[in-house]
A and B are shown apart, each in its own frame.
Chain A
Amino acid sequence: MERHYRLLQERIHFEELENGLAVYVVPKPGFKKTFACFATKYGAMINRFVPYGESEYIDVPLGIAHFLEHKMFEMPDGTDASEIFARMGLDSNASTSHLMTTYLFSGTANIKEGLNLLLDFVQTPYFTEERVLREQGIIAQELKMYLDDPNEALHLGLMQNLFRVYPLRFDVGGTLESIMQITPEHLNKCYRTFYHPSNMALIVVGDIDAIMEDSDDPIKALIDLVRENQAKKDFKKPLDIRKNILVEDGVVNKASDYQKMDISIPKAAVGLKLPFERYQKNQSFLMELEMKILLEATIGPMTDAFQEMLDLELINGNLYYNVYCDGLSGFLKVQANTNKPKQFIAYVENKLLSLSSIDFDDETFNRFKKATQGSFLRAMNNPEYIGYNFLRYLFSDADMFEAIESFSELKKEDMKALEKYFQKEALADFVVIPKNTLFSKIQ
C-alpha cells in the first residue's frame, strides 16, 4: 500500500507480512545514506506480563528490556553483530526507551546485506550465564555514568515526583541492584513474548532505487527481500500479549523535592502530569505538538515572559521544554539552569496554570501553524528523524505523516481542549543543587 503526503511531499509504502511484521519504506531519492530501524513495541514500561506459552503473570527486574538490547548483539558463535556491521561499512546501534527497543543501522553501501543481518541478529536469541555476568559489569558502568549526569538526575527526580507507580518513574536502565538479578531465563521469557514479528516493525528510509538498482520495481523488491528472509524462519503463532502496566490518577506523587550533587549551578524542573485517558488515533502526536506550541507561545524566546525571566535572573540564557505522550499518559517538562530555583519554579508554575484559560489571537495562532509546517518540512531532510520518530509514534498509536497533515486543519478553538490539563494537582517540581548548599537557603 502506498500513501502520498501532499504537504510534506513524502511517500510511504506499507505492507504487513504473513508472520505479522509491519514493513514501512520511505524513498529519499538522491540520499547517499540509508537508515533502517527494526523495533519491538517493548521497553522499560513493561515489567509484569504473562510469558508466551504460560498462564501466570511474572514480575521481571527493572531494566530488563535495556539489558536484553545489549545482549542481542552477541551471536551464538561468539561474534558480535556490531562488528559484522562495521566490517560491511555500516554503523549499527540500538536504544531502549520506555515504549520500545530499536535496533538500527545506516550506511552508504551493502544495504541489502545489512538488512538481512539486522533481521537475523535480532531474531537469534542466545543468552548464557557467563555472558550475562559480564554484561552486568558493563551496564553497571553505563548506569554510573548517568548517575553523575545532573540532567539525568533532574529528569528522574521529576518523574518520581509526578508518578507514583507508572513506570515512567523508573530509569530505562534499571538500578545497580536490579540488573544484578537478571538471569538468562528472564531474558528468554521476555524475548519469546515481545520479539514475535507481530509485535515488531521495520522501517527503511533511503534511496530505494539505488539500493535495488537491478530491479524494475525497487520498492516491491525490497519488501520481497524482507519477506524471503522471514520465510526462512519458523515463528510460533502470534498470541495476544497479556501485560500489566500500573496506572494511576492525575494527581502527582509528590509536589516537590531536591537532590544534592557535585555541580556548580542549580538545575530546576517543573513538570505537568498528563492524565491517563483514552487517547484517540494520532492524538499522542497532536497532543505533543499542540502542547509545545502552547509552551512556546507562553514562555518561549518570542514572549515577554522569557525576557522577564532573564531580567529577574531566573534563567541563565536557556530554557528547555519537552512534551511526551505515549498514548497512555505523559508529561510536560520545563527546565533551566538557575541560581534562583524556587523563584523559577513559582514563575513557571504560575504561567502554566494561566493556561487553564487559553487566549490566543489569530495572528499568533496562524504564525505557529505556518512555523510548524516549516519545521516539519525541514525535518524531512533527516532520514534518522523520519525513521525513528515514525516508529516511536506508530507504537503510541499515531501515523506521524498523517498527523502532521491533519495538524494543518487545526483551528484556534481546538486548542481550548487543552485547558483542562493545567491543574495545580498535576504540577510537580524537582531541583538539583550543589552539594555544599542548604536547600532552605536557596532562593
Chain B
Amino acid sequence: MEIKEMTLNEIPLTLIKTDKFKTINIQVVFLGEFSKENATKKSLLTRILSNSTKNFPTKKALATKLLDLYDASAGVTTYPSGKTAVTVFSIEVVNEKNLGIEGLTREAVEMLYEVIFNPNLEGGLFPEKDFNEQKRVLKERLNNVYNNKTRYALRQMLKKMAPDEIISVSSLGSLEDLEPLTNAELVSQYKEMIEKENISIYVCGDFEEESIIKDLSLFGSLKNNPHNYETVLTEPVKVEKVREFFEKQKIQQAKLIMGFRSDINSKSPQFPASLVFNAMYGGLFSSDLIRLVREENSLAYTITSMFLDDVMVMVVAAGIDGSKYGLTTDLVIKQLEDYKQGRLDPELMQTAKENIASDLLQTEDNPAQLINYFLRNYLHGLKYQVSDLVAAVKSVTLEDVQKVAQGINLDTIFLLTGEDDDGKAL
C-alpha cells in the first residue's frame, strides 16, 4: 500500500494505492459549520442531491445509470464532528482492470462530479415535486426514530443532558426546523456548501497515478477555503449534580442510557488511552461491564460503552429489566469508581490493546474505512499512520487508563421503561 498526499490545484488529494481491492473508491468531502440552524437543511440537502441531477433528473434515470456502471454504488451523507459538518459524496465502482474494459473510472468520476456540481435546479430552485417529496420522506424518517428504541433513548438522553449544546443536535435534523424550511433556503444552503466550504478528495484502489489525476482534473479548477474548523469540543463541562429522567412506553425491555462527561477529545494526547479505557470498561465482549452486568448478575443481554470523542462524552447503553434499574446503574458507577482508584486488571488491558490493534489494522482491509481513517487525520490535523496509532495504544499504561477514568463523570441517566414495570425502582 502506498499513500500519497498532494494537491489538485488548491484541493488536497489523498491517493491510497493498493492492489488488494477489486474496486476504485472515490470520496469528495466538504467541511462546513454544523449548527442547530443548518442541521436540518444539510440533512434534507443530502437527500435531494442523492436522488437526481440535471442530466439524470429522476430516481429512475440515476439508478439506471449506476446499474450501467456495473452496479456502481454512490451516496451522499452528512455527519457532525464537533461543530463541523462533514458532507461526503462517494462512489464505489468495479476496477476496470477486473473487467478488461477502459473508461469506467473516468465515468465514475464524471458521475460524482455531476451529483455534486450539477443539481437539478429549475429557475434557481429544486423541482417543487422533488422538494416536497424529500421533505415528506425526511419527516417520516424523523418520526421513525421512535421505532428504534435504543436510538430513541440515546437521542433523548443527549437532549436532556445538554439541551443548549451542539451534542443535542441530531444530524438527521428536527421536525420543528423541517416544517418551515423553504426551497429557496435549501438552494442557498447548497450554494454556501459549493462556494464557501472546504473540499478534499480521497481515492483508494489499484489505479495508475497519472491516469487517475487526469480523470480527477474535472475538479482541478475549484477554489478551496482553508478555514480552521472546530472539529472537536475543547472545554470540559463540570457536572454539578447527576440528573435522572424516565419515560414509559409499551415495551418489553427497558433501555438504560447513561451519559458521562470526559475531558478527552479526538485530538488529545490521551486519545489512545481513552481507546484502551473504553475497551476495558464496556467496549469489548470480555469487558468489565459485560462480565459484571451480564455474566455475573444476568441483568442484561447487552451492555456497552462508547466514546463520542469529538464532543467529550462517554455513553453506557444497556437493555435491562426495568425493575433492575438501581442494581444495574450501581454496578456501572461502582466499576468506574474502581477504575478511578486504580483497580485495573493488567490482563484485561493487554486484551484491550490486542483487540484495538487488530481493529485498527483491519481498517486497511476496507476501502471506505481506509479513506475514513485519512479523512479523520485531515479533520483533526493529525498525522498518525495506522501503525503509529497502534504503537501509541500499545504503550498505554495502567496509570494512563486510571487518569482517563478520573476525568470521567456521570452527568445524566435516562431510562426508557415499560408501562407495566412497577414504580418502586423509580
Contacts and interface: CB of A to CB of B under 8 A. Distances in A.
30 contacts: A32-B361, A32-B362, A82-B285, A86-B285, A86-B354, A86-B355, A87-B286, A88-B354, A107-B358, A108-B361, A138-B294, A141-B253, A141-B319, A141-B321, A145-B302, A149-B149, A263-B146, A265-B147, A302-B67, A304-B60, A316-B144, A317-B134, A317-B137, A367-B64, A374-B71, A374-B99, A378-B23, A378-B92, A380-B22, A381-B366
A90 B286 CA distance: 12
B60 to A, nearest CB: 5
Given A142-B301, A307-B60, A337 B71 contact: no
Interface stretch (B164-172, B244-252, B335-343): B244-252
B299 to A, nearest CB: 8
Contacts of A141: 253, 298, 300-301, 319-321
Interface residues of A, dominant DSSP:
mixed
Contact of B253 (A33, A148, A313): A148
How many residues of B sit at the interface, in one of the four size bands?
35 or more
Interface in B113-164: 133-134, 136-137, 140-141, 143-144, 146-147, 149
A147 to B, nearest CB: 5
B149 A89 contact: no
B384 interface: no
B59 A307 contact: yes
B58 interface: yes
A317 B141 contact: yes
Interface stretch (A23-31, A268-276, A387-395): A23-31
A144 B252 contact: yes
A138 B252 contact: no
Given A139-B301, A262-B251, A317-B141, 13 more contacts: A9-B22, A30-B18, A31-B365, A83-B286, A86-B286, A106-B362, A108-B362, A138-B294, A141-B321, A306-B60, A337-B140, A339-B140, A374-B99
A378 B25 CA distance: 11
Query: Considering the complex of A and B, which 10 residue pairs feature the smallest CB-CB distances, nearest first?
Result: A374-B70, A89-B354, A30-B20, A317-B137, A316-B140, A302-B63, A141-B301, A371-B71, A262-B250, A374-B71
Nearest to B25: A381
A144 B302 CA distance: 12
Interface residues on A, range: 35 or more
A310 interface: yes
Contact of A138 (B23, B137, B298, B359): B298
Interface in B343-371: 347, 350-351, 354-355, 357-359, 361-362, 364-367
Interface of A: 9, 28-33, 80, 82-83, 86-92, 106-109, 134, 137-139, 141-142, 144-145, 147-150, 261-265, 267, 300-304, 306-307, 310-311, 313, 316-317, 337, 339, 367-368, 370-375, 377-378, 380-383, 435
Contacts of B315: none
Contacts of A134: 298
A145 B319 contact: yes
Contact of A265 (B70, B92, B140, B350): B140
B98 interface: yes
A304 B64 CA distance: 12
B205 to A, nearest CB: 10
B333 to A, nearest CB: 21
B301 A145 contact: yes
A372 B71 contact: yes
Nearest to A207: B20
B338 to A, nearest CB: 19
A378 B73 contact: yes
Nearest to B64: A302
Contact of A29 (B20, B92, B250, B362): B20
Given A29-B20, A144-B253, A370 B357 contact: no
B365 A32 contact: yes
A18 to B, nearest CB: 33
Contacts of B301: 138-139, 141-142, 144-145
A89 B301 CA distance: 23
B147 A264 contact: yes
A381 B21 contact: yes
Contacts of B92: 378
Given A134-B298, A381-B366, A147 B252 contact: yes
Given A91-B355, A137-B298, A144-B253, A371 B70 contact: yes
Contacts of A310: 133, 137
Nearest to B251: A148
Interface string B285-300: 1100000001100101
A117 to B, nearest CB: 14
B249 A262 contact: yes
Interface in B64-89: 64, 67-73
B300 A435 contact: no
A435 B70 contact: no
B143 A264 contact: yes
B126 to A, nearest CB: 15
A267 B355 CA distance: 39
Contacts of B358: 33, 89-91, 107-109
Interface in B85-111: 92-94, 98-99
Given A145-B301, A307-B59, A370 B355 contact: no
